[in-house]
Amino acid sequence: MVACNNVNPLLTEWDTPYGIPPYDKIKVSDYLPAIKTAIAENKAEIDSIVNNPDAPTFENTIEALEYSGKTLAKVTGVLFNVSETDGSDELNKVVEEAMPLLSEAADEISMNKDLYERVKAVYEADQSGLTAEQKMVLKKTYEGFTRNGIGLDEAGQAELKEINSRLSTLSTKFGNNLLEENKAFEKEFGFPAAFYYSKMASIEDRGLREKIFKAYSSRGHKGNANDNRAICAEILALKTRKAQLLGFENSASYILDNKMAHDPQTVDAFLKEIMDAAMAKARKEIVEMEKISGFKIQPWDWSYYAEKVRKAQYDLDEDVIRQYFSMENVRKGMFLAAKKLYGINAEPLKDVPVYNPAVETFKITDENGEFLGIFTTDYFPRSTKRGGAWMNNVREEYVDRDGKEIRPIIVNVGNLAAPTDTTPSLMSIDDVQTMFHEFGHALHGLLTKCHYVSVSGTAVSRDFVEVFSQFNENFAFQPELLAEYAFHYKTGEVIPDSLVQKINNSLKFNQGFMTGELAAASILDMKLHELALAKPEDLDIDAFEAQACKEMGLIDEIIPRYRPTYFSHIFDGGYSAGYYGYLWAEVIDQDAFDQFRKNGIFNKELATSFRKTFLEKGGSEEPMALYRSWRGQDPDPAALMRFRGLIEN
């Protein structure tokens, strides 16, 4: 149960710089005992709230709930960060065992009727003395009970607990299966699945392209031990039953009920308009590619011939571009943009604990030297890391009981091009955008100034959370910023103005394909969660996907960005009936960035108001109320279509 010195490092105060987890002292065998201890501690905290003889108030009930579970959050913050980035078979087993325990513990709180009665009493009392943030925390706490089964009878609650436990087990299994499939893909083809798109653009052998495409697009779909089809079907059936237990027709209706979009019909209409425009553009893109290919384009041909068209139309060679974008230069550019906009500084930290030698750590401060948080980067692929790119909180920002501000510890993870023996890590245009995107999430977490974890940083509506990451992408290729960070890795020459112009001219290139595959995945996600699936065996997921793609008007030359069996966002993540959020948020972030285009890209006054209105407030106020207060109006629905070149400016 414990480390060799009889002390579990996960349960001690961390005597490390800035409270960084002591990764070097934590063993796999420490996690489960720490989780069990932390769950018991949290239960005692909840009992204390419930048994408080004083009348319920915000302070003794809602605030007390906010301060509970800190040890559990501390332990899971480390566990999930390490398991996703530097996992092992042993650690995967720990997560598989831990998830049902965590699900059960969460259910015990959300279905505690005595606790709910205290929360309800505060919710129904006069709220005039509460701050806007406290009102939002109270609202989220109350809805956390009403949306998680507090109104069910004993039998209903028992069934819901079983569903939640099974869902946690299945999602973990889905992720582990996909990790194994990605390992097999890399072993067969010699490069990570994360590099699929960039590799397909340069492979001349059409037969090899077809082989790689079919292997990539059939991950979790091969009839082997890692086949995810049955898991997908069972997850969807369980989600349906959960939604219906809680009074909703299907999972999509339940999930969207408290989101900005609110209902599936709104999302479906939103996505249809984008999909139609994307397919119209994609058909034109095919014509240009087939002029070069001389034959009908297939899905495995698209990236290869799109790159040829790009070179012809924009005289843009990705291999030349990469030479100006080493990872270190791009990261410098991210930090420079944040300094220009928000006045923050990033100082490298050496000799601090890390979970893997590839991790680099930075101390983030504002222009007055105030400590804002710890930021770590982990950009390169390895077999122990899941695919994709993401931001993760190891520790959230909040103000503790003594009034001390606890600043966050945030990780940006990627699977970008690793350095070789002869070259540094060199980034493609997409890679650069990915780094700026994830740092946008990190800024949201680092700059937040909230009192309570439940509304701190990125704790916002799922269809609002991508606004700030996508907003940050806009700065990556601004000419005045490129002049300060884009230098040739050999000669040190600054990127030429002619190349900068070509990059920016090309950003709307191939948007029929890129928008189409993204919209297709979003629609597929919605259609899967709009199912009222009674039992798993009622779903032939292959036939369902084919029919959905036909109905949405997806052309044969494009497949959804994610097929169900490797759609980890919705089966092993938080984006169920929420993948549309990337496009939904893009309407807002492009409308917001229009203000910078009009008033100065690095306008400090505008950036300060953006920071104070959004980044500092996290989820402490309603998203659209915040946006209207800053913009003076609702976002322009056409902003996304203009930005992607799907309609004329």
pLDDT in tens, 590-637: 999 999 999 999 999 999 999 999 999 999 999 999 999 999 999 998
> Can you list the domains of the chain with their CATH numbers?
9-110+112-147 (1.20.1050.40), 322-509 (1.10.1370.40)
Half-sphere exposure at residue 129, Cβ-oriented, CA atoms within 13 angstroms: 7
- pLDDT value, residue 3: 43
Section 104-123 average pLDDT:
96
pLDDT band at 649 (very low <50, low <70, confident <90, very high): low
Section 545-552 average pLDDT:
98
The candidate with the shortest Cα–Cα distance to 533, out of 231, 167, 251, is 251
Section 37-60 average pLDDT:
98
**Distance separating alpha carbons of residues 255 and 489, to the nearest angstrom:** 47
pLDDT in tens, 2-21: 344 579 999 999 999 999 99
Helix then strand then coil, in percent of the chain rounded to 5, is 60, 5, 35
- pLDDT value, residue 266: 97
- pLDDT value, residue 455: 97
Residue 1 has pLDDT above 60, yes or no: no
**Distance separating alpha carbons of residues 193 and 557, to the nearest angstrom:** 20
Beta carbons of 333 and 598 less than 8 angstroms apart = no
pLDDT in tens, 255-300: 999 999 999 999 999 999 999 999 999 999 999 999 999 999 999 9
Using the Cα atoms of residue 458, residue 367, residue 414 and residue 302 in order, give the sign of their dihedral: positive
- pLDDT value, residue 574: 86
- pLDDT value, residue 4: 47
Residue 207 has pLDDT above 70, yes or no: yes
pLDDT in tens, 220-239: 998 999 999 999 999 999 99
pLDDT in tens, 398-419: 999 999 999 999 999 999 999 9
CB atoms within 10 A of CB 536: 17
How much is the mean pLDDT over the chain? 95
Q: Which residues are catalytic?
A: 438
Instruction: Give the end-to-end CA distance of the chain in Å, rounded to a whole number.
Output: 63
The candidate with the shortest Cα–Cα distance to 578, out of 104, 260, 143, is 260
| Three-class DSSP labels, 586-625 | HHHHHHHHHHHHHHCCCCHHHHHHHHHHHHCCCCCCCHHH
pLDDT in tens, 445-504: 999 999 999 999 999 998 999 999 999 999 999 999 999 999 999 999 999 999 999 999
CA angle 58, 60, 65 (to 5 degrees): 85
pLDDT in tens, 320-347: 999 999 999 999 999 999 999 999 999 9
- pLDDT value, residue 573: 85
pLDDT in tens, 80-95: 999 999 999 999 999 9
Beta carbons of 75 and 38 less than 8 angstroms apart = yes
Beta carbons of 303 and 311 less than 8 angstroms apart = no
Two tokens at 16? 């490390």
- pLDDT value, residue 335: 98
